[in-house]
Amino acid sequence: MASRPPSPGNAGSPDSAIPPILVYLLPMVALVLGGVIASLFTSATGIQIATAAVCMALALIPAKRYDRLLEERGKTSFIITKLLT
């Protein structure tokens, strides 16, 4: 008996554990957390902003990897239409 491939809404599939919106949320959450954590250790605004920016930049790495994984599996539900350069 052949097994059926899991449907996109299947809660038991490994992909359903991480929602695609994570690609957008992870950098934003890292930006806020970086700023908040830096504010606990220093009152220098420049250092807080720099720390938040570094956290966001580092969060873009796993977000981009996950985006590519979704794209390979054909499960991308969003499309970035314009890149600012």
Average pLDDT across each block of 10 residues of the chain; the chain has 85 residues. List them in order.
49 56 85 93 92 92 85 70 71
Residue 32 lies in a domain: yes
45 belongs to a structural domain: yes
| Residue 4 within any structural domain of the chain | no
- Residue 53's pLDDT is 93
> Residue 35 belongs to what domain range?
19-72
Q: Is residue 53 part of a domain?
A: yes
> Number of C-alpha atoms within 13 angstroms, CB side, residue 84?
0
- Angle at which helix 45-72 crosses helix 22-41, to 10 degrees, equals 160
Residue 77: its pLDDT value, please? Answer: 61
**Which pLDDT score is estimated for 26?**
87
pTM of the model: 0.62
Report if residue 29 sits inside a domain: yes
> 48 lies in a domain?
yes
Tell me if 43 is assigned to some domain: yes
Predicted local distance difference test score (pLDDT) of residue 12: 43
Total structural domains within the chain: 1
CA angle 38, 26, 7 (to 5 degrees): 160
